[in-house]
Chain A
Amino acid sequence: MENKEYFSSRWALLLSTLGMAIGAGNIWRFPRLAGKYGGAFLVAWIIFLILWSIPLLMVEFSLGKSTRKGPIGAFSVFLGKRYTWMGAFVAICTMAIMFYYSVVCGWALKYFASSLIGGLTDIDHEAYWNNFTGGGFQPLIFHLIALSLASVIIFKGIQKGIERANRILLPSLLILLLLGVIRSLTLPNAAAGLNYFFDINVNSFSDYHVWLEALSQSAWSTGAGWGLVLTYAVYMRKDEDVTLNSFITGFGNNSASLLAGLAIIPAIFSLTSTIPEAEKALDAGNQGLTFIVIPQLFGKVPGTRFFTTVFFLGLFFAAMSSLIAMLELSTRTFIDFGIQRKKALPLVAVITAVLGIPSTLSLEFFNNQDWVWGLGLIISGSFFAFAVIKTGVANFREKHLNISSNDLYIGTWFNWITKYVIPVESIVMMVWWFYQSIQWNPGSWWQPFHQYSMGTCLVQWGGLILILMLFNSQLYKWIKKDQAYA
């Protein structure tokens, strides 16, 4: 029954995959990095769209479309019983992100609501943020509201739920971003921000930070390797394209990021008095920039309430469209175990509500989970590459990419990138982030209970992988084998 539901058109599918890809990271991470590293970062970020994100998006689309199962089922069908645990790692990594992402969605909703009623004008924003996240019940309440909204959408299914929601969320987000861009670019001294954003300094290309941050941003922002595109691809029509849709998803995500950059960076440079002050604002971290610095700066322009409301509504829409995809992945996983959507969804919603609570109560816990499972996505991405390498990259390209239903011919570049470049990128990214964590915490990098340590990653990933490998046969048995592998 479940697999008979499909996206009604190519555009409905694309709006949903774009909604999945365009999330909080486009608004709170990309402008921060682009502002910090300038034009060289933009070049590297576009290069890694081709060298990481788009090939993995094609792999995900193909696996979902051909197996008609979520990540656990797709890996077990595609690679065989022995590798079921890999699909489970991909699914659980994304679910772990969903637990705290719902909290982010709640933060955006709270700030939107506060701004709408005028609660963000003439206040101390840092105190407001610290008070909000300082252990009270408000983050929990907004986390539950955001989760309930996403659950209602998933409950209604693909066409009436996900498709209809994204038809509203994505165009609205685009309009809100455009409003932000117009406001930002018409502020006095906005040109200073543009000069900084699009500053092409040749020496920056030799800075390895630029390349690694660009690779990480591309990996996290496009949603490649998360298993989310794979989940949406379960509901693709049989004659639907994979290759052109992957390119549109990747370039659509990057286009939205550039819009967010144009809305935020010139505004920051216009509303701060000096370049070092603007640099300090961009260096405030994701949460600091979004919930403290931006409301502070928007307080200086006419129409403060309107533009702050627009900004947080845009952030909420971006986060919600991604939360919907994460909730669908989790629900799909239980559907693959033979549980009906109407029963699977409440189960997933309750688990998410409960496991999101620690992140609503403690920013330290939130940051730890963001660090561990954000990095875990690099492992997830490498598992997708492994699936293709194991079955033969050339074979995969001929059997899944260069077929009559696809609109773009994919050359041998795909073989090289999947077989050599992605594995190398995965290792380099992992080593670099661990090196960073040792630099940040020289004395405690091995401690499992430290917020940003290498030890906390190894313990949490290792524990999960060990459990999944132990229960590999059981997981395989749970997957319903009713759908033929097409």
Chain B
Amino acid sequence: MLELSTIVFMVIILGATWGTLGFLISKARRKEKKKVRIKK
């Protein structure tokens, strides 16, 4: 049985890592789209 503290800490760690990665990748995608628009 999963403990409540495990769930909370798991959400924090996975959120901090995967969430940050997702945010960074979406930022990179936006920057790339912007560069393409400027080139056009």
Cα–Cα distance between A200 and B8 once the two chains are bound (Å): 10
Chain B at the A interface: SS class? helix
Q: How far, in Å, is A109 (CB) from chain B's closest CB?
A: 29
Mask: chain A, 225-263; 1 = CB below 8 Å from B; 0 = not: 000000000000001010011011001101100100000
Q: Nearest Cβ in chain B — how far from A42, in angstroms?
A: 5
In the complex, what residues of B have CB within 8 A of residue A251's CB?
Answer: 17, 20-21, 24
Determine if A198 and B10 form an interchain contact, defined as CB atoms under 8 angstroms apart. yes
A5 interface hit (Cβ, 8 Å): no
Q: Kindly state whether residue A370 has any CB partner on chain B within 8 Å.
A: no
B25: chain A residues within 8 A (beta carbon): 248
The answer on a CB contact under 8 Å between A191 and B1 is: yes
Q: CB-CB < 8 A to A10: which residues of B?
A: 28, 32
A195 interface residue, CB < 8 Å from B?
Answer: yes
Q: Tell whether, in the assembled complex, residue B13 and residue A248 are in contact, meaning their CB atoms are under 8 Å apart.
A: no
- In chain B, what residue has the closest Cβ to A34? B13
Q: Is the CB of A200 within 8 A of B17?
A: no
Q: Is the CB of B24 within 8 A of A200?
A: no
**Of the residues B5, B16, B28, contact of A244 by C-beta under 8 Å:** B28
- State the interface size on chain A (CB cutoff 8 A): 24
Which residues, 1 to 23 on B, are CB-close (under 8 Å) to A? 1-3, 5-6, 9-10, 13-14, 16-18, 20-21
> For residue B21, which residues in chain A have a CB less than 8 angstroms away from its CB?
248, 251-252, 255
The 8 Å CB contact of A198, one of B13, B27, B28, B32, is B13
Judging by beta carbons under 8 Å apart, are B31 and A46 in contact?
no
Q: Does A407 contact B (CB under 8 A)?
A: yes
A314 close to B (CB within 8 Å): no
- Select from chain A the residue with minimum beta-carbon distance to B39: A239
Residue of B1, B13, B28 near A258 (CB, 8 A) is B13
Cross-chain contact of B6 among A42, A46, A194 (Cβ < 8 A):
A194
Query: If A191-B2, A195-B6, A198-B6 touch, does A46 touch B24 (CB 8 Å cutoff)?
Result: no
Chain B nearest CB, measured from A3 CB (Å)? 22
Q: Which one of B16, B20, B27 has the highest number of Cβ atoms from chain A below 10 Å of its Cβ?
A: B20
Q: Establish whether residues B18 and A46, one from each chain, have CB atoms under 8 Å apart when the complex forms.
A: no
* Residues of chain A from 4 to 23 with CB closer than 8 A to chain B in the complex: 10, 14
Q: Which residue of B lies closest to A46 (CB)?
A: B16
Q: Which residue of A lies closest to B18 (CB)?
A: A255
Residue of chain B at shortest CB distance from A43: B13
Complex Cα gap A258–B31 (Å): 27
A43 to B12 alpha-carbon distance, docked (Å): 10
Tell me if A200 and B9 are in contact (CB < 8 A): yes
Contacts of B31 in A (CB 8 A): 241, 244, 407
- Flag whether A39 is at the interface (Cβ < 8 A): yes
State the B residues within 8 Å of A (CB): 1-3, 5-6, 9-10, 13-14, 16-18, 20-21, 24-25, 27-28, 31-32, 35
24 residue pairs from A and B, CB less than 8 Å apart:
A43-B13, A46-B17, A191-B1, A191-B6, A194-B6, A198-B6, A198-B13, A200-B5, A241-B28, A241-B31, A244-B28, A244-B31, A247-B20, A247-B24, A248-B21, A248-B25, A251-B17, A251-B21, A251-B24, A255-B17, A255-B18, A258-B17, A407-B27, A407-B28
Pick the 8 closest A-B CB pairs, nearest first. A251-B21, A198-B10, A198-B9, A198-B6, A191-B2, A200-B9, A407-B31, A195-B6
